Amino acid sequence: MGKHLVLVGGGHAHMTVLLRAGDFIEKGHRVTLISPSPYQYYSGMGPGMLSGVFRPQETRFHIRRMIEDRGGVFVAARVVRVDARERLLWLSNDVHIPFDVASFNTGSYVSVAWTGGSVERLVPVKPVFNLYLARLELQNLIRRGPLRLVVVGGGAAGVEIAGNLWKLVHDAGIEPRITLVAGRELLRDAPPKARGLARGSLLRRGLNVIERVHLDSFAGQTVLLSDGSALDCDLAFVAVGVTPSQLFVNSKLSTGHRGELWVDRTLRSPDHPHLLGGGDCIAVEGMRLAKVGVYAVRQNPILYHNLMASLEGKSFRRFSPGSPPMLILNMGDGTGILWKQGVTVAGKMVLKFKNFIDLRFMRKFQVSGELEESEVLPGQSTIEREPGTGA
């Protein structure tokens, strides 16, 4: 008798399972995908969507159509609690869905609640679609004159957002006034050469880069910094504090130190082997993986194989993270910065290489007519500032 596989979230680690959902159904199993949105956006192309290099259609997967076209079921909802013992997933509307095997790929989000005061002028860089909605808002603000923009976070996301904000405003014929609050150090985990190239790129375009200073709080249209200074801003982008869903903590499951689902190297919960997961929402035993999409992509074939093994009673494969990932930044001026294992290069060809890699990944899984769809979709008009909210 067939079993019920439930996928919670349609992130990058679930792409192969979604694409090959028919394999499970052909063996007599049912497949259900639960996600609050019928679309999944690719984080690697988010900065380019912000600046207008990419249309939203080019950066998203129609996960609802993908699963339904292959005979599965889509449920538009959020899972708020997992009853691992009874094998039930509880939704926000108090409905529950039974399962035999469940896999989680719910990603992570950027909280702005800690900043205090009103959050109306704050834009968390996750979920990724926030960046497109911010682009629309900025296009309206640009008509009123010069903009004061702040980016909080000196990691890769903050650098890319700052550079692509420059492109968006510069292309509109307005002189940008952009400040990047980089925290302890700009790109502090990157090689010195990459840090120097990124800093030079931003400074040459007139961006203000502040290091050894953090965001203290946000009040009205003012960013208050840890050194006592303040920045006036029309919009502030927050690229710090990436946090996994608190679903697993709230469900009293074993978790990593940040609340991720704790899994072994087969991507299964040691306490509940019928729970699996991938991407930012898991912590793998014995590994400290950076929150970068490449690991979710590498988990794709392992998760597909082990979900099938869970349903069919077959042997499991172990996940190996592989070599340290190559990282490429889209600097927003037509150039990129790449580093991997001690090698750092920059230039226009680097960005072309990044776009080639990103588009190749997208085309592999864009099998549901995404490129022919409308740009803005019903129900996606408000920046999400906390999970489950449109405000």
pLDDT score, position 56: 92
pTM score above 0.75: yes
Q: What pLDDT, on the 0 to 100 scale, is given for residue 390?
A: 39
Please list the ranges in the chain whose pLDDT falls under 50: 389-391
Q: Which of 66, 19, 335, 53 has the alpha carbon at shortest distance from 204?
A: 335
What span, in angstroms and rounded, lies between the C-alpha atoms of 113 and 150?
17
Backbone φ and ψ for 38, nearest 5 degrees, come out as -75, 0
Residue 304 CB coordination number (10 Å): 24
C-alpha–C-alpha distance, residues 209 and 159, integer Å: 10
Q: What is the DSSP letter of 8?
A: E
Q: Report if residue 306 sits inside a domain.
A: yes
CATH number of the domain within which 16 lies = 3.50.50.60
Residue-level pLDDT at 26: 97
Q: Give residue for tokens 């800093």.
A: 199
pLDDT of residue 61: 95
Is residue 378, in this structure, part of any structural domain at all? no
Same domain? 233 vs 257: no
- Which pLDDT belongs to residue 386? 62
Tell me what pLDDT residue 163 has. Answer: 97
| 187 CB-near residues (< 8 Å, 6+ apart) | 154, 155, 156, 159, 194, 195, 198
**Residue 379 within a domain:** no
Phi, psi (degrees; rounded to nearest 5) at 265: -75, -5
Is the domain of 189 the same as that of 105? Answer: no
pLDDT of residue 380: 57
168 and 93 assigned to the same domain: no
> Which residues span the domain enclosing 92?
4-36+77-109+242-312
331 in the same domain as 205 = yes
Alpha-carbon dihedral angle through residues 173, 382, 50, 210, given to the nearest 10 degrees: 80
- Residue 387 is predicted with a pLDDT of 64
Q: Are residues 234 and 330 in the same domain?
A: yes
CA distance 246 to 80: 9
**In a shared domain, residues 184 and 330:** yes
Clarify whether residues 102 and 158 are in a common domain.
no
Domain presence at residue 380: no
